[in-house]
Amino acid sequence: MTHSPIMKTAFIHTTPILAGFSFLGIAYVIYMHSLGFAPIFAIVMSAAIFAGSMEFVAGSLLVASFSPLSALILTLMINARHLFYGISMLEEFKNVGKKKYYLIFGMCDETFVINKTAQVPSHIDKGWFMFYVTLFNHCYWVFGATIGSIAADYIHFNTHGLDFVMTALFVVIFLDNWLKESSHLTSIIGIGVSLACLIIFGPKAFILPAMIAMLVIFILMRKPIERKVGTTS
């Protein structure tokens, strides 16, 4: 089997991701550098973890007080959407052989969207197409981290306040989701719960209680929320 046409098709579909991942990878390494980590740590983490926003959070966790339970819950909450990605891709991964292990490891938002929605030509093997989409996106992220490591080593500037890049990243993700969702009920609940926990627990301890409270509320209100979303879609 000739892989060149498959790689070309996958590359065409992932080209828009190249710019975004490269920029975020650069920002990630510079952010890690501002926390005191050598660039090699960020490069290795970008290759081994490949979890986007969670990598920014991991940097903060590594310099914070050791709290494995909080780290575990935070990681599960941030990446919980991948559970639903995985369920929806069960059929797609069914006949791809051993490639499925890398496909599972390398699944991210952008890769999921491409692999789930792309109209692959009949002469292109879907399993290998998904593999190369995942591989290219993974490489884009590591490439951005590598470029960022060069900038962090040779371009010296005041990085005070750069840690706000993580906050900005989550704000952008939230706003993007706000624009796409048919009902803002869950977003409003999330904002309300976060503000309440911020007032009650203070800025240093509100995240974990807020996440737990949101999880409980969403479980208890699942049916009303589904009806609300259904009537507005």
How confident is the chain (233 residues) per 10-residue block, as mean pLDDT? 85 86 81 82 87 81 81 77 77 88 88 84 89 94 86 64 62 75 83 91 80 81 72 55
Please identify which residue in the block is written with the tokens 């995985």: 86
Tell me: do 11 and 57 sit in the same domain: yes
Under 8 Å between Cβ of 28 and 166? no
Q: Residue 136: what pLDDT?
A: 95
By three-state DSSP, how is residue 64 classified? coil
CA-to-CA separations, 24 to 54, 64, 84, 115, in angstroms, rounded:
12, 23, 24, 21
**pTM for this entry:** 0.68
109: tokens are 């938002």
In a shared domain, residues 147 and 192: no
pLDDT of residue 102: 93
Residue ending a domain, choose from 154, 170, 202: 154
Q: Is residue 159 part of a domain?
A: no
In the block, tokens 């920002």 appear at 27
pLDDT at 192: 92
Shared domain check, 139 and 99: yes
Q: Does the residue 173 lie in any domain?
A: no
Q: Which domain holds residue 215?
A: 181-232
Query: Is the domain of 80 the same as that of 137?
Result: yes
Q: Is residue 164 part of a domain?
A: no
pLDDT value, residue 164: 65
Residue with tokens 């050791």: 66
